Amino acid sequence: MHFYQILKKIIRTGVGKGRFLMAAVGLGIAMLLILVALQVHHNFNELLYGERNQNERADFLVINKTITNEMMGNNALSTFTPAEIDDFKKQPFVDDFGVITAGAYNVKMVANQLGFSTELFFEAVPDSFIDVKTDQWKWQQGQQEVPVIVPSDFLDMFNFGFAMGNNIPQFSEETVSSLSPGIVISQGMRSSQFNGRIVGFSDRISTVLVPLSFMEWANSVYGEGQAKPPSRVIIKTKDPSNPVLTDYLDQHGYSTNKEKTKYSKVRVIVQTIVSVVGFFGIVLLMFALLVFSMFIQLVIASCKKEIRLLITLGAAPRQLQRYLLKQFVPLYIVIGLLALVLVAGLQWWAAGLLAKHQMFVPSLPGVITFAAAVTILVLVYLVNLFAVKKHIAGM
């Protein structure tokens, strides 16, 4: 007969077994919650930043200060100071940063073919921020023809709003591109005339763009000497829905295209839910640990006489500790494995489901999930070991 077999008859671990099993179930649920929370977090990151899920590597946001009633009448308040620009550039979510330079002169566009002329404005951004790729996007001093990029919304507004309402024919992008409206830039009495050429339509930047070289020349000739501080900036970012970014914008009273940052809200909600689930998991784990150590105390207390006699007869405290741990630990390992298997199953199922929507997550739980399961088991083991040691030593 083995020593432990005899011990089994002496140290009855059946005392309060119901409570122990409840705690074991609690441990299982706690592990499941914690692992699921970690795995969801992991998956969410994978969806946002994973290689396979990158439809577009980067996004561009045009940012300006929100115009409030207090700011009205004081244009300086809506411009970015050099300090603000420096701070913005330093933010971790900013991959590239450019200012939108506004023209310091008046612009008038005359389209004789269409029979209209309009007051206009020009702005310019560094070329790397422009989504229209064309060879014509260049200008050097002396060049009569000025390439212009207009927002695609402009054409839509003209075609579907203005033209329809005023019985004017609609124009295709090609037609508009073939026009060369006259452009007059002026300041006071001085003026220059150019031929405009619409070389593209931008979905990214909703302003009328001219090449930076033209802008710099025109500002130096027609401007009032010193450069105006920018009132709009453009940033390149990997992740416009990054809550850190939206927080930064909110804090500084900046605004941008809400459409692009709206996922930020979803992310905050998901992260909150995941955190809450994880938190409950941890609380439940704490309770399970508490019940386990109370259970061990109960078992040892209920066999106090027997354990004392065993020690009197020469049983080493270490032998008894090992025996007691052996009664509980295998169950913990089984629970841990079950939780892992369940999470793996869920992950596999979720991966299949998401793949149908062109969203890719790994079909196996991440390393972090396994590591967490092992960590929790080690924690449970240590708490048990501590409880057993403490109460056996008290004999």
Partner 1 sequence: MEIQLSAVVPVPLREKVLQQQSDIWNRDIRFLPAQTIKIKAPSGTGKTTLVHYLYNIRYDYTGSISVDGKPWSSFSKDQLAAIRQQQISVVFQDLRLFDQLTALENIELKRVMSPQPYHPQEKIREMADRLGVSHVLNQSSATLSYGEKQRIAIIRALMQPFQWLMMDEPFSHLDEANTEKAAKLIAEECRARNAGFVLTDLDHDNHFDYQVTYLL
**142 vs 314 by CB, closer to partner 1:** 314
Query: Which residues in 313-332 contact partner 1 (CB under 8 A)?
Result: 313-319
Question: Smallest Cα–Cα separation from 105: which of 231, 217, 234, 233?
Answer: 217
Looking at the Cβ atoms of 190 and 318, the one nearer to partner 1 is 318
How many residues comprise the chain?
Answer: 395
Residue 309 interacting with partner 1 (CB under 8 A): yes
Beta bridge partners of 62: 234
Q: How far is CA 237 from the centre of its chain?
A: 11
270 lies in the binding site for partner 1 (CB under 8 A): no
Q: Which two tokens stand for residue 142?
A: 């002396």
Q: How far is the CB of 323 from partner 1 (least distance, A)?
A: 12
H or E element in which residue 283 lies: helix 263-302
Residues 228-257, interacting with partner 1 (CB under 8 A): none
Phi-psi region of 353 (alpha: psi -120 to 50; beta: other; left: phi over 0): alpha
306 binds partner 1 (CB under 8 A): yes
Q: By CB under 8 A, name the one of 94, 110, 212, 311 that touches partner 1.
A: 311
Least CB distance from residue 390 to partner 1, whole Å?
13
Q: Which of 201, 220, 194 is nearest to 101 (CA)?
A: 220
Judged by CB under 8 A, the residue of 83, 189, 367, 393 near partner 1 is: 393
The Cα 62–Cα 155 span in angstroms is 20
The least distance separating partner 1 from the CB of residue 306, rounded to whole angstroms, comes to 7
Interior angle at CA 119, CA 70 and CA 232, nearest 5: 45
Q: What angle do CA 184, 187, 189 make, to 5 degrees?
A: 95
User: Would you count residue 8 as binding partner 1 (CB under 8 A)?
Assistant: no
Residue 83 binds partner 1 (CB under 8 A):
no
- CB of residue 10 to partner 1, shortest distance in Å: 6
HSE, side-chain direction, 13 A CA sphere, residue 176: 20
Quick check: 385 binds partner 1 (CB under 8 A)? Answer: no
Query: Measuring CA to CA, how many Å separate 72 from each of 58, 67, 78?
Result: 34, 7, 9
Cβ pair 99, 90 in contact under 8 A: no
**In the complex with partner 1, which residue's Cβ is closer, 3 or 279?**
3
CB of 5 to partner 1, least distance (A): 9
Binding residues with partner 1: total (CB under 8 A): 18
| HEC assignment per residue over 78-99 | HCCCHHHHHHHHHCCCCCEEEE
* Per-residue mark of binding to partner 1, 333-362 (x: CB under 8 A): ------------------------------
Order the strands of the 190-202 sheet from edge to edge: 116-120, 106-111, 182-187, 190-202, 145-151
Q: Which is nearer to partner 1, 3 or 162 (CB)?
A: 3
Smallest gap, in angstroms, from Cβ of residue 321 to partner 1?
11
Amino acid identity at 108: K
Pick the piece of the chain touching partner 1 (CB under 8 A) from 6-14, 103-111, 204-212, 364-372: 6-14
Q: Does 10 bind partner 1 (CB under 8 A)?
A: yes
Q: How far is the CB of 386 from partner 1 (least distance, A)?
A: 17
Chosen residue from 74, 140, 141, 312 binding partner 1 by CB under 8 A: 312
How far is 46 from 274, CA to CA, in rounded Å?
15
Q: Which is nearer to partner 1, 19 or 322 (CB)?
A: 322
| Residue number, 11 or 274, with CB nearest to partner 1 | 11
Alpha-carbon span 303 to 314, nearest angstrom: 17
Stretch that binds partner 1, among 97-105, 128-136, 310-318, 378-386 (CB under 8 A): 310-318
Q: Which residue's CB is nearer to partner 1, number 267 or number 389?
A: 389
Residues engaged in binding partner 1 (CB under 8 A): 1-3, 6, 9-10, 306, 309, 311-319, 393
